[in-house]
Amino acid sequence: MTTTTKNYQGGKAYGQLVSKREAALDDINKEVVENPDYSDVEELPEKLNAFKAKFLEFDHDQNGNIDLMGLKRMLEKLGQAKTHLEIKKMIAEVDTTNTGTISYRDFIRMMLGGKSVLKLILIFEEKAKPQERPKGKPPKQDISNLP
């Protein structure tokens, strides 16, 4: 009886996997920077680095794609929880390979291209963050200040 075990190491092996993944995404970023279709995009290298960081954050299995569960976690983190059906529709809107996942190339096209629901959610991520509360004592109120 033969058993197959996968190597689920952490530490050095995981670090090497992440490094390879980042290098592959850096190669794609380099292609995009050299692509004349994106020559009019301001601060393109900085944007691509931000996109890479966001993509890696939700590509939990390091396979180069954001799947349904990765996108679900992303949206929940942004305070925009959606149903599985809504998430499948978002993926279908972006997915050019018909794999049911979002590849990094699809992610870049979405972020640099036309409108999509997911792009709008990611762009307005900052607005979803709680605002800083004022410090100090509240101003004195009297009856004449009421609406």
pLDDT of residue 31: 92
> Across the chain, which distance is largest between two alpha carbons, in Å?
86
Indicate whether 6 belongs to any domain. no
Domain total in the chain:
1
Q: What is the torsion angle, in degrees rounded to the nearest 10, for the CA atoms of residue 20, residue 23, residue 27 and residue 33?
A: 150
Q: Which two tokens stand for residue 135?
A: 């410090």
> What is the distance between the alpha carbons of residues 52 and 136, in angstroms, rounded to a whole number?
40
Indicate whether 32 belongs to any domain. yes
Indicate whether 140 belongs to any domain. no
Give the type of residue at 43: E
Block means of pLDDT (10 residues each) for the chain, length 147 residues?
50 80 90 87 88 86 86 83 88 89 90 70 60 74 71
- For 102, the 3-state DSSP assignment is strand
> What is the distance between the alpha carbons of residues 113 and 111, in angstroms, rounded to a whole number?
6
Indicate whether 138 belongs to any domain. no
Indicate whether 135 belongs to any domain. no
pLDDT of residue 42: 86
pLDDT of residue 76: 86
CATH number at residue 111: 1.10.238.10
Pick from 65, 96, 93, 68: which is nearest to 82 by CA? 68
pLDDT of residue 147: 62
pTM of the model: 0.68
Q: Which domain holds residue 68?
A: 18-125
pLDDT of residue 30: 93
pLDDT of residue 129: 58
Contact 31, 43 (CB under 8 A): no
Indicate whether 68 belongs to any domain. yes
Non-local CB neighbours of 60 within 8 Å, separated by 6+ positions: 69, 70, 73
